[in-house]
Amino acid sequence: ESDLRLLDAEGNELEGDENGGALPVLAIVGRPNVGKSTLVNRVLGRREAVVEDVPGVTRDRVRYETEWAGRRFVVVDTGGWEHDAKGLAARVAEQAEMAIELADAVLFVVDGQVGATATDEAVVRLLRKTKKPVILAANKVDDTRGELEAASLWSLGLGQPYPVSALHGRGSGDLLDAVLAALPEVSAVGPESVGGLRRVALLGRPNVGKSSLLNALAGEDRVVVDSVAGTTRDPVDEIIDINGRQWRFVDTAGIRRRVHLTRGADFYASLRTHAALEKAEVAVILLDSSEPLSEQDQRIISMVVDSGRAMVVAYNKWDLMDEERRKFLEREFETDLVQIQWAPRINISASTAWHTNRLTPALDKALESWDTRVPTGKLNQLLAEIMQSHPHPLRGGKQPRILYGSQVSTRPPRFVLFTSGFFEAGYRRFIERRLRESFGFEGTPIEVSVRPRE
Ligand code: GDP
Ligand code: GDP
């Protein structure tokens, strides 16, 4: 179950935009009372869409679709921080981290009348580490006098502070221009924001059977979509109806057009793979079951793992299989592909369409895992059990413990563990295994990071 749905004013679920390209996402981060709500309501506007958050998500997160200067984008308000048992610092880290994960750019709001507080500075440290653009707004600058003080926020190292008055609208034009300049045309954080068709990248080295598989899946029922009009790269997507359901296969132009590049072919292939992954939610890695795993196969697999996308492995040309080869292949899968044992695997024959009907169930499984959100209570229950049965080895006479764990994002699931000391990599991997045993995650990478607290 996806946790967020985008609704229009009448409460109808919104379709993706005509291109199916996800709108870019801006996350708003800031302490309570700095004026985030005022900024969102008055300046960005929440006219077009209201989005509901289903129960089970621990904190309030609201998304709106909005528009400025003719460009549409999604605003995510990650909610204010409250002092509670967990403490403000933990909340701060979580919220900022989540914003960074969820968004293409972050709008960080500070109170221009108060200046930067210690809590603000803690957020700044996190924001400075991200590669995503950060726009710094100094709110409550209601008149020229406040502007001078706002300028002192240059010292935060986040670039130019934009003085703004959410209350009166002052400075909001410049701020919004800066926001638009920072946002990409199409979101790189997944289409969570707009729903739309599931996006699949079909990957594999030349001659593995990509084009044959595409033909087997599409038959005559294909719609070619020029996704990025006016660019020279001409990636073309195809919308393919499989058993009454549409899927978007991204960047199929490079698959259809049999280009034979001699020099630099590898380089271009890897660029194409990157571009396809950026747009996709799930990747199908096609392997040739009649040939040994190649270095290029391994490179493609690593790229998919690094991209954080869901993954399905398809062994093609299974019609060429014999007993001996098959034994070898099973061994190979367990040894050379040990890092992706979590990926669903199907054996197919693209040229005869044998078992190609197993592809969409595998894609669904992988995407479901990719979207999974583990309730905080359940997660911490498991963590407590792990600490009981398999505590971290002593370090210098001390017992590093997990204080609290939280899933900070989906797509893919990412977990942060707040701990009382440094955790060994081996123990982190152990926890990752236990998470998989308990919650499945078939077809998705997961990430576990540790924040030691003193
Ligand atoms: P949030 O909790 O961070 O979303 O903050 P709010 O939007 O609820 O605003 C907190 C308080 O600051 C409210 O009383 C607002 O009216 C006030 N406020 C918000 N923006 C401005 C502004 O630009 N100037 C002034 N003077 N007050 C503001
Ligand atoms: P691409 O370069 O990845 O798009 O690969 P193609 O789809 O063009 O296939 C390359 C070659 O492999 C062609 O000669 C296909 O007929 C053949 N091929 C593709 N799938 C299969 C299969 O399942 N079994 C067999 N025996 N040959 C296949």
pLDDT (0 to 100) of residue 80? 52
- Is the model's pLDDT at 202 over the cut of 80? yes
Q: How far is CA 307 from CA 27, 210, 315, 343, 372, in A?
A: 21, 20, 21, 14, 17
Closest CA to ligand 2's atom 24: 317
Least confident of 71-80, 325-334, 367-376, 435-444: 71-80
Average pLDDT, the chain: 81
Confidence at 103, pLDDT banded by 50, 70, 90 = confident
Pick from 219, 211, 218, 282: nearest CA to 252: 211
Residue that is written with structure tokens 């750019």 in the block = 105
Q: For residue 444, what pLDDT band results from cuts at 50, 70 and 90?
A: very high
Give the ligand 1 atom nearest the CA of 166.
23
Contact 176, 169 (CB under 8 A): no
**For residues 104-127, average pLDDT:** 91
Give the tens place of pLDDT for each residue, 269-285: 777 788 788 889 999 99
With cut-offs at 50, 70 and 90, classify the pLDDT of residue 122.
confident
Helix (H, G, I), strand (E, B) or coil at 419: strand
Pocket of ligand 1 (CB under 6 A): 30, 32-38, 80, 139-140, 142, 165-167
Question: Which of 272, 289, 351 to mutate for ligand 2's pocket (most ligand atoms within 8 Å of CB)?
Answer: 351
pLDDT in tens, 351-361: 999 999 999 99
Name the nearest CA neighbour of 166 among 40, 32, 73.
40
- The Cα–Cα gap between 268 and 293 comes to 21
**CA atoms within 13 A of residue 66's CA, in its CB half-sphere:** 23
Q: Whose CA is nearest to atom 6 of ligand 1?
A: 35
Task: Give residue-wise pLDDT tens across range 221-270.
Answer: 566 655 444 333 445 788 888 887 888 898 887 776 655 555 556 666 77
Tell me how far apart the alpha carbons of residues 444 and 432 are, in angstroms, rounded to a whole number. 12
Closest CA to 276 of 329, 314, 238: 238
ipTM: 0.55
Q: Is 317 labeled as ligand-binding?
A: yes
CA 372 to chain centre: 12
* Banded model confidence at residue 8, pLDDT cuts 50, 70, 90: very low
Is 80 exceeded by the pLDDT of residue 193? no
Quickly list DSSP for 249-289: E---HHHHS-----TTHHHHHHHHHHHHHHH-SEEEEEEET
Nearest ligand, measured from the Cα of 164: 1
Q: Which one is predicted more confidently, 47 or 72?
A: 72
Residue 209, ligand 2, Cβ within 6 A: yes
Residues near 204 by beta carbon (within 8 Å), at least 6 away in sequence: 210, 285, 286, 287, 288, 297, 300, 316
Helices (H) and strands (E) counted in the chain, each on its own, are: 13, 18
Higher-confidence position of 268 and 413: 413
Whether the pLDDT of residue 60 is over 60: the answer is no
How confident is the model at residue 216, as a pLDDT?
Answer: 92
pLDDT one-digit tens code per residue, 15-51 = 433 334 568 889 888 887 888 878 887 777 754 333 3
Task: Tell me the Cα Rg of the chain.
Answer: 24
Does residue 81 register a pLDDT over 90? no
Residue 43: the pLDDT is 75
pTM of the model: 0.58
Q: State how far the alpha carbon of 38 is from the alpha carbons of 134, 168, 446, in Å.
A: 20, 10, 36
Ligand 2, atom 16, residue with closest C-alpha: 351
Judge contact between 348 and 358, C-beta under 8 A: yes
